[in-house]
Amino acid sequence: MAAGAIPATKLAYFDNMWAVQSTATLLSHLQTEDGRRALILDSTIFHPQGGGQPADTGFISGAASGFKFVVEDARLKDGLVYHYGSFENPQDDCVSIAKEGEEVHLYINPQRRDLNSRLHSAGHLLDICMRKVGISHLEPGKGYHFSDGPFVEYKGIIPPDLLQIKSKELEKEANALILTGGKVSASVLSYNEAAEWCGGVLPSYIPTDSAPRIVKLGDHPGCPCGGTHVADIADIRNLTVTQIRTKKGLTKVFYSISP
């Protein structure tokens, strides 16, 4: 089936961020322009790389044909999630083995998902802590929630003489909130409901006619997010602020968590 004729992939992790197995229907198998093989399904629990979060990895198997497709990467493009990878058996040919319309089983790497979710939630927790340590004037920008040097970038700067102080305050506040814990929830809401979840206002990049997905940590104001997260703030387990850098009107707060 041509990609243009395929309906948008249902992002099943929106409804359940903690499922590591599921079933779906294979809609298309193809070889992309860069030579990679990809499977497109009607729904997926694989989080595609985006929003500062890495892609899930794992495998997809055919219920009837028995093929096993190892997923090495996943990307969202024009509403479709492309699961990139290769067949475990080199003799398998996607055209003859993987049948469109076939039921498939999805399995994601639970350790990788857990780490990615903890890192992403830790980034959101820093946003909360920024407000609590008196630097709420810094506006959250992009986040990088990969294990090789995660950070959250903010518009605005912290005076150089306060960098070490705020670093310690942020770390102390974050670990206090982790110790207390709090349920993490995510919902797709109307614009007005979403604004309420976010403390009364949404970022300007959210269209007023949209239904954004909001992630909320405990009783703290939420924010728009399409990623996966822990079930409870306590599941982050710990957070270390490794350094804070300021440059050209921007502040980057780097952090780490234990594996």
> pLDDT tens for residues 129-181?
999 999 989 999 999 999 999 999 999 999 999 999 999 999 999 999 999 99
CB proximity list for 145: less than 8 A, separation 6 or greater: 52, 53, 54, 116, 119, 120, 122, 123, 227
Q: Given this model, what pLDDT does residue 5 score?
A: 83
In the chain, list all ranges with CATH 2.40.30.130: 10-108
CB proximity list for 108: less than 8 A, separation 6 or greater: 20, 21, 45, 46, 56, 57, 58, 71
Q: Which residues pair with 245 in a beta bridge?
A: 252
Neighbours of 12 (CB within 10 A): 19
Asked if residue 185 has pLDDT above 90, the reply is: yes
Q: Which CATH architecture has domain 113-257?
A: 2-Layer Sandwich (3.30)
Average model confidence (pLDDT) across the chain: 93
Confidence at 125, pLDDT banded by 50, 70, 90: very high
Question: pTM for the whole thing?
Answer: 0.94
Asked if residue 91 has pLDDT above 70, the reply is: no
Tokens of 66: 């028995």
> What are 11-46's pLDDT values in tens digits?
999 999 999 999 999 999 998 888 899 999 999 999
Q: Which CATH architecture has domain 10-108?
A: Beta Barrel (2.40)
- Cβ(213)–Cβ(225) under 8 Å? yes
In the chain, list all ranges with CATH 3.30.980.10: 113-257
Alpha helices in 142-252 (DSSP H): 163-180, 191-197
